[in-house]
Amino acid sequence: MADPQDRKLKDAQMRATINQKLVETGERERLKELLRTRLIECGWRDQLKAHCKEVVKEKGLEHITVDDLVQEITPKGRALVPDDVKKELLQRIRTFLAEQSNI
């Protein structure tokens, strides 16, 4: 069946289109800024920073690399984001897409 492949292709196209739209209009930067402030406000950044310090202490100040940090931190970072912030972000993206499709 070519159906799942076809859908995959469609999905990829759509994702590319959405990303392109987001970047082109500058909405992506705006969303990122909003997310950053929200995360700082809710203490996510501080929590994650404390976790980073532990990681750095474990690995040693000299031997730590950015890759190590990213590997350790990214899953934790995703998990620690509060649901409210996630919801708000999703809502923003959705409304943006709705506006774009209307035009």
Partner 1 sequence: MDNKTPHCQQNGDTGLQGMLTDVMNELIDEVTLGLCFDIHRASKIGTLFLGDTDPKSQREYEIVEKLGVDVFGQVATKKQFECVCPNCQRNLAASRFAPHLEKCMGMGRNSSRIASRRQARIAKESETSSRVATTGKGDSDDHDSPDDDNDVDWSYNVDKKVKKLKKEKILTHSPRRNKHNKFRNGNHLAGDNSSDRSGTPEPTIPSYELMTVEERKQLLLQTCGVISEHTKKMCTRSHRCPQHTDEQRRQVRVFLLGHANVEDDVHIDIDSLDDVDNQSLRESLQWEVNSSASSPTDSTSTNNSTSGAKKRPPSKSNSSKNSNSKKKKGSKHTTSSVTNSHGGSGNSISSSSMYDFE
Q: Where do contacts with partner 1 occur on this chain (CB under 8 A)?
A: 7, 11, 14-15, 18-19, 22, 28, 31-32, 35-36, 39, 45, 48-49, 52-53, 56, 61, 64-66, 69-70, 73-74, 77-78, 81, 86, 89-90, 93-94, 97
Q: Which amino acid is at 43?
A: G
In terms of CB distance, is 48 or 103 closer to partner 1?
A: 48
The minimum distance between CB 42 and partner 1, in angstroms, equals: 12
In terms of CB distance, is 8 or 103 closer to partner 1?
A: 8
Residue from 51, 55, 84 nearest 67 by CA: 55
Query: For residue 81, what is the DSSP state?
Result: S
Angle between helices 66-80 and 44-59 (to 10 degrees): 150
The minimum distance between CB 89 and partner 1, in angstroms, equals: 5
The minimum distance between CB 92 and partner 1, in angstroms, equals: 9
User: Sign of dihedral through CA atoms 69, 75, 80, 81?
Assistant: positive
Give backbone dihedrals phi and psi of 42, rounded to 5 degrees, phi first. Answer: -85, 5
> Which residue is listed with tokens 């310090």?
53
The minimum distance between CB 81 and partner 1, in angstroms, equals: 6
